[in-house]
Amino acid sequence: MRYRVLGGTGIEVSVHCLGAMMFGAVGNPDHDACARIVQAALDQGINFVDTADMYSAGESEEIVGKALRGRRDEVVLATKVHFPMGEGPNRGGNSRRWIVREVEESLRRLDTDWIDLYQVHRPDHTTDVEETLSALTDLVHQGKIRAFGCSTFPAEDVVEAYHVADRRGLMRFRTEQPPYSLLARGVEASVLPVCQRLGMGVLTWGPLASGFLTGRYRKGRPVDLASGRAALTPARFDPTLPVNAAKLDIVERLVEVADDLGCTLPQLAVAFAAAHPAVTSVILGPRTEDQLNGLLKGASLTLDDETLDRLDVIVPPGTDVYRPDGAWRPPVLTDPARRRRPLADRSAA
C-alpha cells in the first residue's frame, strides 16, 4: 500500500481510503460483516477510514466505532457534518450551534475521543463561512478534532473559505472531498487545481460512478431498477434515458482499455482517480468484503501516459458525462428568485 501526506497536516494516509457509506441500512445492515470489511482493509494496509453522521442515520458511524475497537490508534478516522439529522429546525447545516452539538454525537457513535478529519459535507450559504471556520478551529483547540476539511465545495467556495481564514486568523480547510471518476471529470477544471495551489489534500469519492464502472451495467443488458443501487435512484440507471445511454456507450470503450491492460474495469477506474497529482486518497465504498478485495487486487496498478491519453480521448479532461452530485445543488440554481430581477426592475429596463 502506498501512503501520501494529507494536505500539509503531516498525517500520512493510504492512497486508498475505506468509505463506509454502504455500512448500515442503506447498504449492508450486517454489522459483523461490515466489521470484517474494516478489519480486512486494515490488514491490507489501509489506514484511512471515512464515514459521515448521515450515513444510514448514524448507523455507519456506530459500525465503524465498533469495528475499530482495539485498533483505533492505527487509523486516520474521518467523518462529516451538514445534512439534517432528524426533524425540525437547527438539526443540520454548518452553524456553530449545530457543529458543536453534532460533533459530540459523532464522537459518541464512533466510540472515540477524537476525530482526525472532520469535514463539512456540503456548503451552507445561510451560514457565514467565518462562523463555520471559527467553530471548527475551536474544536481543534479543544482536542476533539485534529484537522478539518470540506466536501463537494465549488472552487469559489474553497477560495472564499481560504481567504476568510487568512483574514480572521482562523485555521483553514485542509482537505476537499469531491466526486471524481472517469465519467465525472469536471473537478479537473478548477477544484483540483485550486486545491493544489492552496496546498490542500484531496479525497475523491465515487470512483465507480455510482456503479456504472463496476462492470455490472453494460450496453444491451437488462437493468433491474427494483434492486441494488438502482432501486434507490432508478432514474440514474434507466438505460432509456439519454444520459445513461451515453454512460453505457463510454463504458464499452473503457472495458476495451481495461482488457488491454489485463485488469478489471473497477481497477482501471480506481487507478485513474489516484493518478491525478492533486489526489491524496481515493475513497472505496464496498458493500461486501469480496468487493473490497477485488478493488485492492489492483492497488499497485499504475497507468502510463499512453493509457491516460486513451482515456482523455474517451472522456475529455474536465468533462462531466453526468452530474455526479445528486444530493446538493447551489441555491443560485434551485431558487429562481436568486437569478431573476424583481418584476418592477425588469419592466423599468
**CA distances to 82, 126, 202, 316 from 90, in Å:** 11, 12, 29, 42
The answer to whether 262 and 174 are in contact (CB under 8 A) is: no
Q: Please state, in angstroms and rounded to a whole number, the distance separating the CA atoms of residues 278 and 203.
A: 9
Closest CA to 332 of 165, 123, 128: 123
- Is residue 3 part of the annotated active site? The answer reads no
The amino acid that residue 250 corresponds to is: I
Residue 36's Cβ-side half-sphere holds a number of Cα atoms within 13 Å equal to 12
Exposed e or buried b per residue across 308-345, where buried means at least 16 C-beta atoms within 10 angstroms of its C-beta = eebbeebbeeeebbbebbeeeeeeeeeeeeeeeeeeee
CA atoms within 13 A on the CB side of 332: 4
How far apart CA 66 and CA 73 sit, in angstroms, is 14
188 to 209, 274, 320, 322, 331: CA distances (angstroms): 16, 13, 10, 15, 23
How does DSSP classify residue 86? S
Distance CA 108, CA 119 (A): 17
The x, y and z cell numbers of residue 79, run together, are 467523518
Exactly one of 3, 55, 180, 322 is catalytic; name it: 55
Is 55 within 8 Å of 26 (Cβ atoms)? yes
User: Known catalytic residues?
Assistant: 55
